[in-house]
């Protein structure tokens, strides 16, 4: 009997300091924090919450979750 695996839905968590007054423009792209790649949204969201909480005192610091599976298969 073969075991079926769940469909991979990779998500990326990253963040960094944004320029004041900008929507999403980083102060320094070399200083962006690439937190990691996660197999599903729930895992990525958990890590995103942790990173956001750690940087709550810095109003210019932002973290994001990118749905990589949507970029890899936009027709899905």
| pLDDT tens for each residue of 37-67 | 999 999 999 999 999 999 999 999 999 999 9
- Give domain 11-72's CATH number out of 1.20.1250.20, 3.40.640.10, 3.30.70.2400, 2.60.40.1180: 3.30.70.2400
Instruction: pLDDT band for 25, please (50, 70, 90 cuts).
Output: very high
User: Residue 62 and residue 14: Cα distance in Å, rounded?
Assistant: 8
What are the C-alpha distances in Å from 26 to residues 18, 19, 31, 32?
4, 6, 9, 8
Give the global pTM: 0.83
42 contacts 31 by C-beta, under 8 angstroms? no
């Amino acid at each position: 009997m073969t075991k079926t695996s769940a469909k991979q839905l990779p998500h990326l968590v990253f963040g960094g300091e944004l320029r004041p007054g900008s929507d999403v423009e980083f102060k320094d792209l070399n200083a962006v924090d690439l937190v990691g790649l996660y197999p599903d949204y729930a895992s990525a969201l958990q890590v995103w919450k942790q990173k956001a909480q750690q940087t709550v005192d810095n109003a210019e610091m932002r973290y994001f979750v990118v749905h990589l599976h949507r970029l890899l298969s936009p027709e899905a």
